[in-house]
Amino acid sequence: MKAVQIVKPEQLEIIEIEKPVIDNKNNVLIKMTAAGICGSDIGIYHGTNAAATYPRIIGHEMVGRVEEVGPDVQNLKPGDRVIVNQVTSCGECYPCKKGRGNVCDHLAVRGVHIDGGYREYITVPESDCYILPDSLSDQDAVMIEPTTIAIQSCTRAELEKDDMLLLYGIGALGSSILKIARQLCDYIIVADVVNEKLEEAKKAGAKYTINVLEEDFQAKVLEYTHGRGATVSIDAACVKNSLLLLLQATGNAGRVITMGFSTSATEVNQFLITSKELDVRGSRLQNKMFGKAIEMIHGGKLDLAGSVSHTFPLTKAQEAFDFIDSKDTSIRKIVLTFDF
């Protein structure tokens, strides 16, 4: 069967590997049907994802159909459409004991630290599979994974009805966060550098938008928050200076959520945090959020239909990655398909 492997940074290959077999009684064999391409996949390809190891079969937005089940599998049967959890954890370490397996000391993320879903078949434990709502196509269902990341950040932010949220960055990650944040609070300010995307954010429920290249970011945040600053800021831009900007733009007793992996030094100082007693919290991956995302879809609170802008067959992964690098403004979610 075919798989997409990043052999080393900047080297993507379509490789031929053995079809996996069920080697654990709790495992299921899944025939992949759709796999999303995420910014972090592009990062692994370009060698800018510090967490990744090589060579790696990437892909962590994994949708498919159960083809075979191991003898101890309880709840899944052949034909079930599922999305696969990207996070695997040990269950024994301090974070796992605290119920935070997404930052397990032995964390292994499919498609990052261990092989992921850009391959025709994958075997995973039954407990890592979530049955898809009938209403959702396999391609749109890849969006459940980014949605879980968005739910994680809003959960870490303890976002509530009376918050004034500042969401910095309205690319793929920010758009998913906006969808979730809208369910939790009404007062959302979105900042970005692309006017077209800011317009879309307004249509998607942002109250105010700021173009950080054209406007005075801090002054606008103050204006839109009646002079007090945001109560919650989420960094979905994840660029060198975004943490500093958000620490400045957040008011007393606020929460600032980081999601980026930038290692560039910035001018962050203690006064910014202590004087306002800010909670600065990281939000990484997701912690048991697949069920929540699917529940929201079933409840009619979340619609992921129409999220996909382009598809490429798995064997054309190179073209898909090159297209994403072109930064074409029509790009939203790009999905690899398996009908080649």
Q: Which residues here bind Mn ion, judged by CB under 5 A?
A: 38
For residue 71, whether the previous peptide bond is cis, meaning omega lies within 30 degrees of 0, is no
User: Cβ 315 to Mn ion, closest distance in Å?
Assistant: 21
Distances (CA, A) of 31 to 61, 78, 109, 206, 333: 14, 10, 19, 39, 21
Half-sphere exposure of 156 (CA within 13 A, CB side): 26
The helix or strand, by DSSP H or E, that contains position 16, with its residue range, turns out to be strand 11-16
User: Cβ 38 to Mn ion, closest distance in Å?
Assistant: 3
Q: Which is nearer to Mn ion, 58 or 249 (CB)?
A: 58
- On the 0-12 / 13-18 / 19+ scale of CB atoms within 10 A, 276 is middle
Locate tokens 């103050």: which residue? Answer: 222
User: Cβ 16 to Mn ion, closest distance in Å?
Assistant: 26
Q: Which is nearer to Mn ion, 245 or 314 (CB)?
A: 314
Q: Which is nearer to Mn ion, 87 or 221 (CB)?
A: 87
- On the 0-12 / 13-18 / 19+ scale of CB atoms within 10 A, 1 is middle
* Calpha distance 250→115 (Å, rounded): 39
User: Cβ 62 to Mn ion, closest distance in Å?
Assistant: 10
User: Cβ 10 to Mn ion, closest distance in Å?
Assistant: 21
Q: Do 26 and 72 touch, CB atoms closer than 8 A? A: yes
**Residue whose beta carbon is closest to Mn ion:** 38
Q: Which is nearer to Mn ion, 38 or 230 (CB)?
A: 38
Q: DSSP string spanning 274-298?
A: HTTT-EEEE--S-SS-HHHHHHHHH
Q: Which is nearer to Mn ion, 39 or 70 (CB)?
A: 39
User: Cβ 220 to Mn ion, closest distance in Å?
Assistant: 30
User: Cβ 172 to Mn ion, closest distance in Å?
Assistant: 8
Q: Which is nearer to Mn ion, 38 or 184 (CB)?
A: 38
Strand partners, 130: 83
End-to-end CA distance of the chain, in Å?
Answer: 12
Q: Which is nearer to Mn ion, 29 or 294 (CB)?
A: 294
Locate tokens 């990484």: which residue? Answer: 284
Contacts for 100-107: CB closer than 8 Å, 24+ residues apart: 100/287, 101/287, 101/288, 102/152, 102/284, 102/285, 102/286, 102/287, 103/284, 103/285
* Calpha distance 28→233 (Å, rounded): 40
User: Cβ 231 to Mn ion, closest distance in Å?
Assistant: 27
User: Cβ 24 to Mn ion, closest distance in Å?
Assistant: 26
- On the 0-12 / 13-18 / 19+ scale of CB atoms within 10 A, 74 is exposed
